[in-house]
Amino acid sequence: MDYLAQLGVTSIWMAPIFRNRSVQMFGEGVPPKAGYHGYWILDFTEVDPHFGSKEDLQRLIERAKMSGIGIILDIVVNHTADLIQPKGGVYAYQYEFSKPYLDSSGKAFGDRDYIDKPDFPKLEADISFPAPPTFENDTDRAIKKPDWLNDPTVYHNRGEVSTGGESAQYGEISGLDDLFTEQPRVVQGMIDIYRAWIKDFAIAGFRLDTVKHVNNEFWQRFIPAIQEQATRSGRKDFFIFGEIYDPDPAFLSEFVHRANMPSVLDFGFQRAARGFANGADFTSKVG
């Protein structure tokens, strides 16, 4: 820590530290993959044992603070580890115009008409979704924490992300179970998860993963709730920044103005710097 402080480091941004599915199987004949990056989360309430314990995290935060360094956690609200499988093995994205959601009585509805509203229609796993959810085994049905994440109706269940458009927010990235963030219970559930981390640990901020894959209305509620908790916990300078993986400055600015993002990663600068470094762009583009 002293060495980092001497380099001028003021914050350490850690990849997700929550208990993660370390290995993912992709079917017969397909090599398994490792979730070394931490984005295949099973338990949002615990530190992954590969890193240590909550006590270890507490010591890290305290030691970093002694050197004037804050710890920033990378957090995920868009998805969890891949446990839900579509019945019939249909993984292609299913669009709403042809396959709308159905409530528990089988009546079609537009979910955007009920975003974050208390009267959001009740859903049934077997009838409400264009890609009805199922599990490979009973263990997978109850392995996530908090427990509400084991309910398959809190996920979009529309198949894989396609080329863009609607599927960017409703589709699954690499098969990861995509949370139905338009539902008020999902919004409140995620607020409760990350409020607890702020209450229990003197972390300095959050980096928000996959921002563009989550509806703006979610962020409009989530971010003020997190800022409020941080202030209540004595951290008025709690730093929040979002990841919108796109180099277009105009597109990035939309999330600052419409999604309540305090700040975003500057992928526009990344593109300009890379272009200058490889000789493709002029110096003026970096400026």
pLDDT digits (tens, 9 = 90+) for 201-222: 999 999 999 999 999 999 999 9
Does residue 281 carry a pLDDT above 90? no
Q: Which of 145-149, 197-201, 208-212, 273-277 has the lowest mean pLDDT?
A: 273-277
Whether 55 sits among the annotated catalytic residues: the reply is: no
pLDDT at res. 132: 95
pLDDT at res. 273: 83
Does residue 160 carry a pLDDT above 80? yes
Whether 209 sits among the annotated catalytic residues: the reply is: yes
pTM of the model: 0.94
Question: Taking the CB of residue 252, how many other CB atoms lie within 10 A of it?
Answer: 21
Residue type, 12: I
Are 286 and 272 in contact by the 8 Å Cβ rule? The answer is yes
Q: Tens digits of per-residue pLDDT, 179-189?
A: 999 999 999 99
Q: What percent of the chain has pLDDT over 90?
A: 83
61-79 exposure pattern, b = at least 16 Cβ within 10 A, e = fewer? beebeeeebbbbbbbbbbb
pLDDT at res. 275: 79
Does residue 16 carry a pLDDT above 80? yes
Catalytic residue among 82, 178, 182, 209: 209
Catalytic residue among 140, 217, 243, 246: 243
| Phi/psi of residue 230, nearest 5 degrees | -60, -45
Distance (Å) of CA 92 to CA 8, 13, 54, 78, 159: 48, 35, 39, 19, 5
